[in-house]
């Protein structure tokens, strides 16, 4: 080891420390957790971690380094997997340099002479939010092509008592479903090959102890900021050691590096806490707000949306759209979004994708009459687009059938009657940008709903090579080009709902659509899972029709609006068919959202530990002077009377005026707390330790509490 190197390096944030052991060949995390005091030296940790030789094992096990090495005899999944025509595959690197950019960040450069690669690890803690950021860069310093099968983000050792895995699964219209697995000897593996983050394999995982809840306990949260294919691996070896590894997933032959070429893994974002899941989410939320929210959005209130999709589908007419705009303005909408069906030949999902010109049969004078009408009502105008796709029944496909991704001689796979355009081709990029540019030049469009309605499961270019990696980068390039030309246009990431949701896409977009389902009961679980990593202001949440178009379930306006109120609120229902009483209740909910929007979109989320038939959470102001709490009863409880709801996140020594502010019309079969609580002054101590007696409620109903100091 070069003399200039220290054996151990430590980086700090406000509440966390990360200790990196560089005393061996590969840098390894020795400690990541609560900030260590001045009396604790890294050498103490090194000594306390001394392990003896295990039976039937080498005298010294290969380290769980940032990139565990095959050449060092690592028996798990190597962090970097490469070869040169089957040779030079066993990585065994030596640390060349460690550079400290500040108290919180390190850059570690290692060289493997045998495989002729340079490895650069960048790792650090954000000083204010405690979020870990880590990446692995691989450079080919040899004189021949290097085949890359894996180059994962830095590997995270997992303490032995972190024996629970909280992962995420789902499907279309039911994304971000949480599942819990006991850690086991072997590997928990989640792989995604959809060409987007997908509905069933969100690139995030939480590893925690048996005792961890929303309020207490230790946990690591890990998220890969990448919008393409990925894999997650949590592996426990027979010695008891465990590690977490996240990285991009490559198809065969997808990535090779020529001499002096480099590849950098997606950034791994992590958070460590001993204060429960809500604290873990708080780290991610604060990081997004301070680092991933574009500066042009600073201080701008997120407008309440009206989206035309579930009101009209493809059956568009100027007259009905103008009437919808009138009704949307009446209930308080601030942005009117014209969804699918507005462009040439788009009478169904079978035709038109790729031909991004206005349908003259529906809009003979273009979109101006509608936009003028919308703006006259005081609303912004937004537009749905799906640039990455093409219908075979389109002028674009007829002119350029070679512009699609495919895997010949396999037959083309149609999904939703569409194919995927090859964004890696410059002419495709130029065509799509020019189409979008023409729309944004001609019309005052403030918002684009950018959709992707199918997986990319034949990701081959005209040369026959797999290109999902490059397709994802090309998407980022196209989005950056649009934002660069039109910086004030906001963009939503939609992909058949929540199929593209990650920190990578947030560098180019301002909102995520978590699900196509507007069923309020399903939405509570979807939004709970989404909230583990993303804050409320990035979560599109719409009030749908009384009878949900996807589940068929009939849900009251009070519950539909109460669920949507806690996100980036919108409306996606046919207001022209809505009864006046419902419309009036909706307008009240929209006004309530606007009244508390600043708190909802800037406050700290605290989820409450409840039974499986309940859902409850709060948004607490940073100064703890104000809070909103939602409580929903999902199913009938086993007892006739309800229990008490213990709040959290408040100032125990502060007095709060408590009000039940939603539903606007409250009723009960007999006298209850609803009749006596409004306007009462209660201490935070009492609300958190004694709790609030809940009234008898019907399933699928909810209450929203407001606390003001």
- Read off the pLDDT of residues 317-335 as tens digits, 9 standing for 90 and up: 999 999 999 999 999 999 9
Mean pLDDT score, 213-235 = 98
- What is the Cα–Cα distance from 368 to 442, expressed in whole angstroms? 9
Token couple for 76: 């798990």
Mean pLDDT score, 541-553 = 97
Is pTM beyond 0.85? Reply is yes
Same fold across 298-390+445-455+489-602 and 606-708: no
Mean pLDDT score, 453-470 = 97
Average pLDDT, the chain: 96
pLDDT recorded at residue 667: 67
Counting Cβ atoms within 10 Å, is residue 678 exposed (0-12), middle (13-18) or buried (19+)?
A: middle
DSSP 507: G
Mean pLDDT score, 163-167 = 98
For the ranges 3-7, 309-313, 585-589, 699-703, the lowest mean pLDDT is seen at: 3-7
355, 510, 516, 604: the catalytic one is 516
Clarify whether 516 is annotated catalytic: yes
Place of tokens 């674009």: 396
pLDDT recorded at residue 668: 67
- What is the Cα–Cα distance from 318 to 699, expressed in whole angstroms? 40
Helix axes 468-485, 426-442, angle to 10 degrees: 30
Question: Would you say residue 103 has pLDDT above 90?
Answer: no
Mean pLDDT score, 492-514 = 98
Mean pLDDT score, 220-240 = 97
Q: Please, which residues have CB within 8 angstroms of residue 271's CB and are 6 or more apart in sequence?
A: 130, 131, 132, 220, 221, 280, 283, 284
451, 510, 568, 604: the catalytic one is 451
- Report the run of H or E that residue 589 belongs to, with start and end: helix 580-600
Tell me how crowded residue 365 is: count the other CB atoms within 10 A of its CB: 10
Mean pLDDT score, 587-591 = 98
pLDDT band at 679 (very low <50, low <70, confident <90, very high): very high
Q: Which CATH superfamily is domain 298-390+445-455+489-602 in?
A: Aldolase class I (3.20.20.70)
pLDDT band at 660 (very low <50, low <70, confident <90, very high): very high
Q: Could you tell me where the DSSP H helices lie in 302-367?
A: 309-312, 318-331
Nearest residue to 649 (alpha-carbon basis) of 676, 616, 679 = 616
Number of residues that this document lists for the chain = 709
- Report the run of H or E that residue 683 belongs to, with start and end: strand 680-683
Q: Which CATH superfamily is domain 8-292 in?
A: alpha-galactosidase from lactobacil brevis (2.70.98.60)
pLDDT recorded at residue 708: 98
pLDDT band at 135 (very low <50, low <70, confident <90, very high): very high
Tens of pLDDT, residues 373-430: 999 999 999 999 999 999 999 999 999 999 999 999 999 999 999 999 999 999 999 9
Question: Would you say residue 125 has pLDDT above 70?
Answer: yes
What is the greatest pairwise CA distance in the chain?
83
Question: Would you say residue 622 has pLDDT above 80?
Answer: yes
Mean pLDDT score, 290-299 = 91
Strands 164-171 and 204-208, bridge-based pairing: antiparallel
- What is the Cα–Cα distance from 404 to 422, expressed in whole angstroms? 5
pLDDT band at 1 (very low <50, low <70, confident <90, very high): very low
- What is the Cα–Cα distance from 24 to 1, expressed in whole angstroms? 8
Clarify whether 130 is annotated catalytic: no
Structural domain boundaries in the chain: 8-292, 298-390+445-455+489-602, 606-708
- Whole-Å CA distances, 44 to 50, 125, 250: 10, 22, 41
Mean pLDDT score, 620-624 = 98
User: Tell me: domain 606-708, CATH 3.30.465.10, correct?
Assistant: no
**Rg for the chain (alpha carbons), in Å?**
27
Mean pLDDT score, 490-498 = 98
What backbone phi and psi angles, to 5 degrees, belong to 606?
Answer: -130, 110
């Amino acid at each position: 080891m070069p003399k200039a190197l220290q054996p151990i390096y430590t980086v700090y944030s406000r509440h966390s420390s990360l200790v990196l052991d560089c005393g061996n060949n590969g840098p390894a995390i020795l400690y990541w957790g609560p900030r260590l005091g001045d009396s604790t030296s890294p050498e103490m940790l090194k000594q306390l971690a001394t392990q003896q030789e295990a039976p039937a094992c080498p005298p010294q096990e290969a380290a769980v380094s940032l990139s565990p090495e095959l050449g060092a005899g690592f028996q798990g999944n190597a962090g970097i997997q490469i070869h040169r025509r089957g040779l030079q595959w066993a990585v065994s690197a030596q640390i060349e340099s460690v550079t400290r950019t500040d108290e919180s960040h390190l850059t570690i450069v290692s060289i493997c002479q045998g495989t002729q690669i340079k490895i650069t690890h960048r790792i650090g803690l954000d000083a204010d939010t405690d979020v870990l950021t880590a990446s692995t860069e691989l450079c080919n310093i040899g004189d021949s092509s290097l085949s890359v099968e894996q180059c994962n983000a830095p590997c995270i050792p997992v303490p032995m008592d972190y024996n629970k895995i909280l992962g995420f699964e789902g499907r279309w219209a039911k994304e971000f479903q949480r599942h819990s697995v006991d850690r086991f000897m072997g590997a928990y593996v989640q792989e995604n090959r959809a060409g987007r983050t997908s509905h069933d394999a969100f690139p995030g995982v939480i590893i925690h102890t048996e005792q961890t809840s929303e309020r207490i306990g230790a946990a690591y949260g890990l998220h890969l900021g990448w919008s393409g294919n990925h894999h997650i691996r949590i592996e426990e070896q027979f010695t008891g050691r465990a590690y977490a590894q996240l990285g991009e997933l490559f198809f065969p032959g997808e990535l090779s590096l020529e001499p002096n070429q480099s590849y950098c893994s997606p950034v791994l974002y992590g958070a460590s806490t001993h204060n429960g899941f809500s604290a873990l989410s708080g780290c991610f939320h604060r990081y997004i707000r301070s680092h991933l929210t574009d500066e042009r959005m600073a201080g701008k209130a997120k407008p309440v949306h009206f989206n035309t999709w579930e009101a009209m589908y493809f059956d568009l007419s100027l007259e009905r759209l103008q009437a919808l705009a009138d009704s949307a303005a009446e209930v308080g909408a601030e942005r009117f979004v014209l969804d699918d069906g507005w462009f040439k030949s788009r009478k169904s999902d079978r035709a038109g994708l790729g031909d991004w010109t206005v349908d003259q049969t529906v809009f003979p004078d273009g979109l101006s009459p509608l936009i003028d009408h919308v703006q006259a009502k005081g609303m912004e105008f937004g537009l749905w687009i799906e640039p990455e796709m093409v219908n075979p029944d389109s002028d674009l496909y007829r002119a350029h059938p070679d512009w699609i991704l495919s895997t010949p001689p396999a037959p083309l796979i149609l999904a939703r009657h569409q194919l995927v355009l090859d964004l890696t081709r410059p002419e495709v990029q130029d065509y799509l940008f020019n189409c979008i540019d023409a729309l944004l030049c001609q019309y005052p469009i403030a918002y684009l709903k950018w959709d992707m309605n199918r997986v990319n499961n034949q990701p081959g270019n005209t040369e026959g090579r797999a290109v999902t990696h490059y397709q994802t980068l090309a998407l980022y390039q196209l989005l950056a080009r649009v934002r660069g030309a039109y910086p004030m246009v906001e963009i939503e990431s939609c992909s058949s709902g929540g199929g593209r949701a990650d920190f990578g896409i947030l560098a180019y977009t301002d909102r995520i659509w978590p699900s196509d389902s507007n069923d309020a009961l399903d939405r509570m679980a979807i939004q709970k899972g989404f909230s583990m990593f993303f804050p409320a202001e990035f979560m599109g949440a719409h009030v749908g029709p009384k009878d949900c178009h996807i589940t068929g379930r009939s849900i009251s306006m009070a519950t539909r609006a109460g669920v949507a109120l806690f996100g980036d609120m919108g409306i996606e229902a046919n207001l022209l068919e809505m009864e006046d009483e419902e419309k009036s209740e909706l307008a009240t909910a929209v006004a309530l959202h606007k009244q508390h929007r600043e708190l909802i979109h800037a406050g700290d989320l605290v989820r409450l530990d409840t039974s499986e038939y309940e859902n409850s959470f709060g948004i607490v102001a940073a100064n703890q002077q104000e809070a909103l709490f939602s409580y929903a009863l999902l199913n009938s409880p086993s007892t006739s009377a309800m229990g008490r709801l213990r709040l959290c996140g408040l100032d125990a020594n502060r007095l709060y005026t408590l009000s039940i502010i939603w539903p606007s019309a409250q009723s009960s079969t007999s006298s209850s707390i609803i009749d006596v609580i409004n306007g009462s002054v209660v201490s935070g101590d009492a609300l958190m330790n004694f709790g609030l007696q809940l009234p008898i409620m019907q399933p699928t109903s909810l209450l929203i509490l407001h606390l003001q100091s």
